[in-house]
Structure 1
Amino acid sequence: MEKYTKIMEIGRGSYGVVWKAMNKQTGEVVAIKKLNNEYKTNEDSMNLREVKSLIKIVNHPNIVKLKEIIRENNTLFLIFEYMECDLYQLMVERTKPFSESEIRNMCFQILQGLAYMHHKGYMHRDLKPENILVSKNILKIGDLGSARETNGEQPYTHYNVTTLCYRAPEVFLRSPCYNSSVDMWAFGAIMAELYTNQAVFDGSSDADVMQKICGVLGTPTESTWLSGLDLARNVLYRFPDFPGMRFSELLPTASSDAVNLVASLLSWCPSDRPTAMEALQHPFFHGCYCVPPTIRLEDTSLNSVPLVFKMAKQRELLKEKRSLTSCGSGLEKLDSNEDQILMLQSINFFDFME
């Protein structure tokens, strides 16, 4: 750690402390995360969930980069690229609402990071504005301390999975087989918050948050979430009786495309929520794609079709391949064509800062 000079503390929690620091040799500014637990061997360090996930999910422009791992006197230091602030700070410091073009670009970047993470077989499980880092118009998903492999050993834990107001209903009801759809719920809550400038499901307890969810979505029924009713019976939970509301009333400044996307993301049934790849192909994002004329998909039958329609075609192909689990939260394996779509996505074709 001698090659780094601490500048200031920028974060602290149960995990440890984060400093802004500078590399004495290169002058580069970094973020150093010092973990509280002791790590007596290098193997212990490499088995840390955050380290394992970040090593596998490398070099994506919308996921924070782990630059170095240092173990010194049984203390572990994770050296990250430095980001100026997080999305929560950005929202708090705003003096006027975000425009829809700003929201579109921010959401597009978050989804690209999520799509890549899910493609690599990981779910974040703690997606919230505080864990989305911002620097010079770039957004990056950070803090993978709660990340889990989507094909990991089940049942998954339910405590400390996502901050309350971004936690998916199936996690509240202790579903034994939730997966990346919990990230899509959290993303939907974040997208709605960017329009309202306040957490849509802000509550002080599990029951309080569930009541707010029912207030917006309406009480689930056999047609909207049959497996959810079974989950509720298993934990002796009774849904409060609410008719729900129109998402256009919840998001009065949002376009119809934005309202449609948020409504699909905040679906009771996990299998009704779009995957990150599917969400990227939603009409709300059609203006975000810019493809050099020399780049084409391998499927030559699609080469003469405009990109937007190629995306729609790919989505239909993916839907045909989907196999749903009994609890409606199965993760589909992405095929090689999806890798190409990921490569085709642009990151920043317009600034979101006004």
Structure 2
Amino acid sequence: QAAPSRAMPGVLMPADGLAGEFVGTKGETYQRPVISRGRPTSRFDQLGRIGEGRFGDVYIGADRSTGKVVAIKEVRLPNLERNGLPKAALRELRALQHLEGHQHVVRLLDAFPRGGSLALVLEYMPSDLEVMFRTRRSVFPESQIKSYMWMLLQGLSYLHARRILHRDLKPSNILLSARGV
């Protein structure tokens, strides 16, 4: 359980490559795997780009073994291969991993290094509130607005109970399942 000699200040490096126990630069350890070995393309077919943002792109994909549709979010981290996973990225990954099981929070299914990016494999949500607002031709009934607000507040309450802030809450980041949840 020795810390890797390549550890850089402020960067957490995996103790055994990219999975298993992680050792921080101050000796802290993390038992749960943070990112998988390999590449997302070895397990997931990337079917096309569905979005882009300041820090990367989002693709629709499918799990080769189950056929399940997923979203693959590639977060650009230019120094990933040289310096390891930045502390902020590791914190976000660990937070996402502990948010399993709430119906109003998108689940992280896996994560892979990919060149200068970290690929996050997430539950696929086919729409968002912004798209719904733009495509709707009539006014939303009050009951529907209350329902969406209730779901949003349930998800935020779940996050806040775990001391996690969303920090980028806007209609395009409020994702909707095929059932409208």
Question: TM-score if structure 1 supplies the norm length?
Answer: 0.37
Are positions 1:4 and 2:36 aligned together?
A: no
Secondary structure of the 1:2 match is helix
Check 1:87–1:124 CA distance in 2 against 1; reply closer, same or farther (3 A cut).
same
Change (3 A) 1:79 1:46: farther
User: Which residue does the alignment assign to 1:102?
Assistant: 144
The residue matched to 1:123 in structure 2 has which SS?
coil
Q: Give the whole-Å Cα distance in 2 for the aligned partners of 1:42 and 1:117.
A: 30
2:98 corresponds to = 56
1:21 aligned to which of 61, 86, 99:
61
SS of equivalent residue, structure 2 residue 85: helix
Question: Which structure has greater strand proportion?
Answer: 2
Kindly provide the amino acid, as one letter, of the partner of residue 44 in structure 1.
Answer: L
Residue 234 of structure 1: aligned partner: none
- Matched to 2:175, the amino acid is L
Letter in 2 for 1:31: A
Measure how far apart 1:83 and its partner are: 0.5
CA distance in 2, matches of 1:20, 1:96: 30
Please tell me whether residue 70 in structure 1 is matched to residue 131 in structure 2: no
Q: Alpha-carbon deviation of 1:100?
A: 1.0
Alignment of 1:131-142 (within 5 A): 131-139=173-181
8 Å CA contact 1:41–1:74 kept in 2: the answer is no
Give the counterpart letter for 1:66 in structure 2.
Answer: L
2:112/2:118 contact within 8 Å kept: yes
Give the letter aligned to residue 16 of structure 1. G
SS in 2 for 1:103: helix
Residue ranges of structure 2 left out of the alignment (5+ in a row): 1-40
Instruction: Show CA shifts across 1:43-72 (max 9, x none).
Output: 616751431321232221101110001113
Q: Which structure has the higher relative contact order (CA within 8 Å, separation 6+)?
A: 2
Report sequence identity in percent: 34
Displacement after TM superposition at 1:41 (Å): 7.4
Task: Tell me by how many angstroms 1:3 deviates.
Answer: 2.1
Between Structure 1 and Structure 2, how many residues are aligned? 139
Query: Structure 1 stretches of 5 or more lacking a match?
Result: 140-354
Residues 1:34 and 2:74 aligned together: yes
CA RMSD for the aligned pairs?
A: 2.0
Residue 156 of structure 2 corresponds to 114
- Alignment partners' CA distance in 2, 1:17 and 1:95: 29
Q: Distance in 1 between matches of 2:180 and 2:106?
A: 10
**Higher helix share goes to which structure?**
1
Report matched runs for 1:1-354 at 5 Å. Answer: 1-38=41-78, 39-40=80-81, 44=85, 47-48=88-89, 49-139=91-181
Distance of 2:86 and 2:42 partners within structure 1: 20
Range with bigger deviation, 108-117 or 4-13: 4-13
Which 4+ residue blocks in structure 1 deviate beyond 4 angstroms?
none
- Residue type of the alignment partner of 1:126: D
TM-score by length of 2: 0.70
Residue pair 1:21, 1:29 contacting (<8 A) in 2 also: yes
Counterpart contact for 2:76–2:116, Cα < 8 Å: no
Partner deviation per Cα, 1:161-205 (whole Å, 9 max, x = no partner)? xxxxxxxxxxxxxxxxxxxxxxxxxxxxxxxxxxxxxxxxxxxxx
